[in-house]
């Protein structure tokens, strides 16, 4: 697909999801209480989406790499290597 075709297919859905994220952050900050590890990890992961200097990423052919989804998943991941002594419950929470 061309970039225009990708935008034709996915722009509105991505726009909707971005607004949802923005609304979520507003909602968190309106609520009383302190941040916990989840929202701290979320803000770290958010930073993986755009470079700090604000420049638009060059194309893959210009050697930019193209791995935001992977970087976000890694930002939420447990990077330790040893098994834990005992499972702390059954569920996952989404961040460490």
For the CB of residue 80, give the shortest distance to another protein in the complex, in Å.
Answer: 6
For the CB of residue 74, give the shortest distance to another protein in the complex, in Å.
Answer: 5
Looking at the Cβ atoms of 4 and 53, the one nearer to another protein is: 4
Where on the chain is the footprint of another protein (CB under 8 A)? Answer: 1, 5, 9-10, 67, 69-70, 73-74, 76-81, 83-96
DSSP character string of 32-68: SS---HHHHHHHHHHTTTS-TT-PPPPPGGGT----H
Nearest-5° angle of CA 34, CA 39, CA 45? 155
């Amino acid at each position: 697909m061309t970039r225009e075709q990708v935008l034709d297919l996915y722009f509105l859905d991505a726009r909707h999801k971005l607004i949802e994220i923005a609304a979520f952050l507003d909602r968190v900050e309106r609520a009383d209480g302190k941040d916990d590890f989840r929202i701290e990890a979320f803000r770290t992961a958010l930073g993986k989406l755009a470079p700090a200097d604000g420049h638009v990423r060059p194309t893959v052919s210009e050697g930019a790499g193209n791995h935001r989804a992977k970087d976000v998943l890694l930002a939420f991941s447990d990077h330790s290597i040893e098994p834990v002594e005992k499972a702390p419950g059954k569920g996952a929470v989404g961040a460490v």
